[in-house]
Amino acid sequence: MTPKNKVITIIGGKGQMGELFCRLFESLGHTTHKIGSRDWDDAKQYIAKSDLVIVSVPINRTSAIIKQVAALMPPEAILADFTSIKVDPLLAMLKYHSGAVIGLHPMFGPTITSTQSQVVVCCEGRYAEQSQWLLDDLAQLGFTLKQMTASEHDQAMSFIQGVEHFITFSLGTFLHHKNQHPEKLLEIASPIYLAKLLLMGRIFDQDPKLYADIIMANPTRIALIAEFAEWLQSWVHKLQADDKTAFIEEFSRATKWMGDFTKYSQNISDDFLNIDLKK
């Protein structure tokens, strides 16, 4: 069983994610310290006596902060981060800290009302056995842990947060550009398109800066988006050449490759496509 007396310092602990995790760790009996951007003078003493330091700061400051923090840490402490990309922070942590290192990505926002079925991605860094108590604690709190490599994580996230959000941005702004209001489309949309329209609309109810930061998070993500745009463009050329055969063959190859996923998608989405529009 985990000894419940660890000292945990969260850098960026006064942000909402920091606050949430401090509360959760304290509920397990640990002592937590929150370091905000104005608390750097106090940081040294807290970091020096920590068993675990978690860096939870905006993406563009992560590597610089990791370097500063690692210099103040005891070598036997664990260094971890919460950044939404994993390769670069993990490389920085391994470079500047000689002890145990682990990359974490909580796949949810700070406003969750329950930890149940919320996913935390874990990317192994160094001396995994020393971080085991942390993973056990996260599991005990109710989180679902997904182990994957940092590069697997970053590629998947570039699809989820890069390509997909960029498509949504492009579609919504194109509708505006063509003055085709989504409410008009709603009236004659089939259930599938209805769901897609509503999922598009909800993104435009959010902070544009947040989406700019997510979509443009790093050059790899932008490169993947550019590659997708080229792929799409190559298919536009085939449509223009009326090449139905190529379309049908490509479609069928993707279907075969997806395997059971297509039938599964059909079944699960049937459940949520009974959309009630009144509200």
Q: Which residues within the stretch 99-138 sit at the binding site for a copy of itself (CB under 8 A)?
A: 107-108, 119, 121
What phi and psi, each to the nearest 5 degrees, are found at residue 78? Answer: -90, 135
Binding-site size, a copy of itself (CB under 8 A): 99
Scanning 28-86, the segments in alpha helix (DSSP H) are: 40-48, 62-70
Task: List CB contacts of 30: < 8 A, sequence separation 6 or more.
Answer: 4, 5, 6, 7, 8, 137
What is the Rg, in whole angstroms, of the alpha carbon atoms belonging to the chain? 22
Per-residue binder mask for a copy of itself (CB under 8 A), 171-190, x = binder: xxxxxxxx-xxxxxx-xxxx
For residues 107 and 118, the answer to whether their CB atoms sit within 8 Å is: yes
Residues 217-276 touching a copy of itself, rule: CB under 8 A, are 222, 224-229, 231-233, 235-236, 239-240, 242, 244, 247-248, 250-255, 257-258, 261-269, 271-273, 275-276
* 279 contributes a contact to a copy of itself by CB under 8 A: yes
Distance CA 243, CA 246 (A): 6
Name the residue nearer to a copy of itself (CB basis): 39 or 152.
Answer: 152
Name the residue nearer to a copy of itself (CB basis): 45 or 60.
Answer: 60
Q: Shortest gap between Cβ of 191 and a copy of itself (angstroms)? A: 9
Task: List CB contacts of 181: < 8 A, sequence separation 6 or more.
Answer: 175
Residues 195-214 touching a copy of itself, rule: CB under 8 A, are 195-205, 208-209, 211-213
* 153 contributes a contact to a copy of itself by CB under 8 A: yes
Q: Shortest gap between Cβ of 277 and a copy of itself (angstroms)? A: 6
User: For the chain, what's the residue count?
Assistant: 279
Q: Shortest gap between Cβ of 214 and a copy of itself (angstroms)? A: 11
